[in-house]
Amino acid sequence: MPRWRRLANLTADPLLGPVTEALDGLPEGARVVVCGRSGPDFARVITRCLDRALTAVPVDPQAGEARLTEITGRVAASVVIDGRGGHWSARTGPCARADLGDRCPTDLERQPGLRFVIFTSGSTGVPKGVMLGWDSVRGNAEKVTGVVGIDPARPHATCLPLFHVNALLMSLVGTRITGTPLVICDQFSPHEYFRQIGQALAATAAVVPALLHRIVEARPPWPDSLECLITAAAPLERDLAQRFYRAYGPRLRQGYGQSEAVNFSFMMPLLDAAGFREHYLRRHPPVGIALPATELAIDDGEVVLRTPDIMRGYWADPVTTAKVLTPDGWLRTGDLGELRDEFLVLRGRRDEVINRGGVKVYPLDIERQWRQDGLAGHGAAVPVQAGSEGQDIGLVLAGGSLLWARSLGAAGRTAPLAAETGGLLITPTGKLKRKEMGRRLTGRREDPARYQELLAYAAQVAASITASQTRPQGAQATRLWAQAAWLAGSQAAKRGSQAGSAARSAAHDALDLLAGYWPTIAVAAGDGGDMMRQRPGLWRRLMTEWPMGSYAELACAVLSARELLRGPVLEVGSGVGNTTGLIAPLVGDDFTWSDGNPWLVARGRWPGQGVVFDFDQLAPDGLGPFATIVATNALHCAADKGASLARLRSLLRPGGTLVLAEGSNPTTPDGLPWALDYLFCAFGGWWDRTGFLTRWEWLRLLTDAGFDRLGYSVLRAGRHDLGGVVWGSNGDG
């Protein structure tokens, strides 16, 4: 049986006695929190509130008990109507008495004609309660129904939640004031939605881009009665519009509005095929022209509106209200836009602008560029922290491969400093939670001049080695000499920096030591271990100070941002303990650190327990399972990296994460080697086991070993990609 009926008759449908009695016993203006599954019953409750001149406060049923309690207290509700369990009931709120003056004394809380307090999604901050009066609600609904063509002879459909402004005001209120039949599809599937639309002979229907994508993927037959779909709440991207057009033609209209301006303020006309191709397919889709009596201004890029259909303010928040509503009635939307021909085109949110080294970039612009560069599927540009350099750009993919991003750096395009797969965080209406996603990602930008100076110094030392009279004998010395010759012959390594101009570091001292020890290594009379014993303490300094220490610091930042130190943690290849010392105080459960060298394990003094574990061998009995395994500049030493990754995966519990901090070689698209590559060729486990790999090689290895939900964070110094952190998950937890 179709879930639709004429809303004029909904008030005649029986509600449970306690719910009806609770509503009918309230004075005009009393607040009623309504929390339950969207559907005909929800519509009946809201309609009853409107008929009784009550103030409805709709709440998403997935918000949780704590959120429901908070909102109930904030608005001093008289009654809470709760239908989350499928059985609708009423209970008293903190302002249950009929004499509102005793419990709710402020003038703000007793505004005559107030019909809704709608809490924003919180996609850009703390949710705010938008107060809407009946005059504004009715005025906007009348304009929208006129523009869309909602009337009794043209049924309307929605699959959107009635506790949000789009479905609540356009669909529910709009059809009620016009007496139009409403189709309420409360269990969305593309085929079921279109089936109900066809059965009810609906002429218009509401949707959001996230659901529109599912429709295009499923391609159910287009209902004969349906004139168009109306999309809003989140940006319609050009690639989705193109796929819709290929499937169904130009039968799509985009609109734009905010809760603060009641609902829609702009609406696209229904275009013919030529107009649709011009405005939706060849360029970024616009959101429309202003509704009647709506004024538009663009103030320093921000969309500013003035309309009779405006909120009265934010509930109990005059300070924030004054920031967005001017004394002469203009609403600062926080959205960035521009006019193209007669249509408004949005560029994103002002508070979503990413300040990338002093240059402001807009997520929507970045996403459009990425799609032009071949990004398939759903991806979001998000702000991420880049250490002392402030913000940078991150990428979150709903699915697909991160390997696509490899081409961006080589092409000189905007490459994300951090990225992950595994799904997008969105509000119930499809808005991206960019800030929330960005908080899980981090990257790091090093001083490019400092690294370039080290590179130039390394090239200078490399040149002295290759000019030496002592020629290499044996495989190890030959590999070291070849890598040194590669760097010494690169003019780019010496460009723009004077070797030795920056402060000395352990890396400089180690390079000097190698230059003097080269004749011994060349004739296979000693190796890197023997060399380091010439300078006690230098090895520890080399592995803990810059630049090697940056990998441990980034690993710790990633583990913290992703909240991966709460469960039992294993560190493998702890070595001198740089990463160990950083994360040990932060682990909230059992911490196990390990190394294949028993001497290194024995000397550790960190919290937790140390075990001898060589990742080239089977793990000791009883080790694991762990929530997180971390290794810093260790796994490149594995003889069989795929087998070692598989072994580590077996030590993770379901949903656990493996985090690898690793350098990268080469560091530039034109093949510049990592500055210390030839230095580490003096050590076994490096020269004979590939040395550093690129993150793209690690991502492939992780995929082949069965990891999913992959991600990475970049350690970058100017144009040099120094590697960073990669991670993968052991399936679903």
| Per-residue tokens: 470 | 């002592």
**pLDDT beyond 80 at 576:** yes
**pLDDT beyond 80 at 4:** no
How far is residue 312's CA from residue 315's CA, in Å, rounded to a whole number?
9
Pick the more confident residue, 60 or 97. Answer: 60
Compute CA distances 147 → 171, 174, 291, 432, whole Å: 13, 11, 8, 28
Domains of the chain, by residue range, sit at 1-110, 361-441, 448-542, 548-729
pLDDT, average across residues 200-206: 97
Number of other residues whose CB lies within 10 A of the CB of residue 732: 8
pLDDT, average across residues 608-615: 94
Tens of pLDDT, residues 369-386: 898 888 877 889 999 988
Tens of pLDDT, residues 521-557: 999 999 999 999 999 999 999 999 999 999 999 999 9
**pLDDT beyond 70 at 407:** yes
Please give the pLDDT value at position 500. 56
What CATH number should be reported for the domain whose range is 548-729? Answer: 3.40.50.150
**pLDDT beyond 90 at 286:** yes
| Per-residue tokens: 342 | 């007669």
Of the ranges 128-137, 245-254, 367-376, 683-692, which one carries the lowest mean pLDDT score? 367-376
Please give the pLDDT value at position 16. 62
Cβ pair 159, 195 in contact under 8 A: no
pLDDT band at 502 (very low <50, low <70, confident <90, very high): low
Please give the pLDDT value at position 98. 42
Q: Which CATH superfamily groups domain 361-441?
A: ANL, C-terminal domain (3.30.300.30)
Cβ pair 255, 231 in contact under 8 A: yes
Please give the pLDDT value at position 175. 96
Check if 1-110 and 548-729 are the same fold: yes
How far is residue 140's CA from residue 309's CA, in Å, rounded to a whole number?
6
**pLDDT beyond 70 at 615:** yes
Cβ pair 547, 454 in contact under 8 A: yes
Please give the pLDDT value at position 732. 67
pLDDT band at 10 (very low <50, low <70, confident <90, very high): very low
Please give the pLDDT value at position 12. 42
pLDDT, average across residues 166-192: 94
> Residue 463's closest CA among 480, 498, 494, 487?
487
Please give the pLDDT value at position 392. 92
Grouping H, G, I as helix, E, B as strand and the rest as coil, residue 647 is helix
Tens of pLDDT, residues 333-392: 999 999 999 999 998 888 888 888 777 788 888 988 898 888 877 889 999 988 766 789
How far is residue 31's CA from residue 55's CA, in Å, rounded to a whole number?
5
Task: Encode 498-555 in three state secondary structure.
Answer: CCCCCCCCHHHHHHHHHHHHHHHHHCCCCCHHHHHCCCCCHHHHHHHCCCHHHHHHHH
Taking the CA atoms of residue 125, residue 131, residue 134 and residue 135 in that order, the dihedral angle to the nearest 10 degrees is -90
How far is residue 310's CA from residue 698's CA, in Å, rounded to a whole number?
53
Please give the pLDDT value at position 132. 97
Sheet with 114-119: list strands edge to edge: 89-92, 79-83, 31-36, 55-59, 114-119, 129-133, 313-314
How far is residue 513's CA from residue 511's CA, in Å, rounded to a whole number?
5
Please give the pLDDT value at position 606. 86
| Per-residue tokens: 6 | 């004429």
Pick the more confident residue, 684 or 210. Answer: 684
Please give the pLDDT value at position 240. 87
Please give the pLDDT value at position 8. 34
pTM over cut 0.85? no
**pLDDT beyond 60 at 312:** yes
Query: What is the residue-averaged pLDDT of the chain?
Result: 89
DSSP 340: E
Compute CA distances 501 → 19, 458, 508, 518, whole Å: 78, 13, 12, 24
Of the ranges 21-30, 123-132, 297-306, 421-430, which one carries the lowest mean pLDDT score? 123-132
Please give the pLDDT value at position 728. 97
* Residue 567 identity: G
Grouping H, G, I as helix, E, B as strand and the rest as coil, residue 599 is helix
Tens of pLDDT, residues 416-462: 999 999 888 887 767 788 888 999 999 999 889 899 999 999 999 99
pLDDT, average across residues 41-46: 92
Please give the pLDDT value at position 499. 56
Of the ranges 264-273, 421-430, 525-534, 625-634, which one carries the lowest mean pLDDT score? 421-430
Please give the pLDDT value at position 603. 79
Please give the pLDDT value at position 237. 83
Task: Encode 354-396 in three state secondary structure.
Answer: EEECCEEECHHHHHHHHHHCCCCCCEEEEEEECHHHEEEEEEE
Name the CATH architecture for the domain at 1-110: 3-Layer(aba) Sandwich (3.40)
Number of other residues whose CB lies within 10 A of the CB of residue 479: 18
pLDDT, average across residues 483-489: 94
Tens of pLDDT, residues 97-121: 444 434 443 444 456 799 999 998 6
Pick the more confident residue, 687 or 376. Answer: 687
* Residue 690 identity: T
Please give the pLDDT value at position 112. 79
Tens of pLDDT, residues 213-235: 899 989 999 999 999 999 998 88
**pLDDT beyond 60 at 250:** yes
How far is residue 673's CA from residue 663's CA, in Å, rounded to a whole number?
11
**pLDDT beyond 50 at 6:** no
How far is residue 305's CA from residue 3's CA, in Å, rounded to a whole number?
37
Q: β-strand 228-231 against 252-257: which pairing, if any? A: parallel
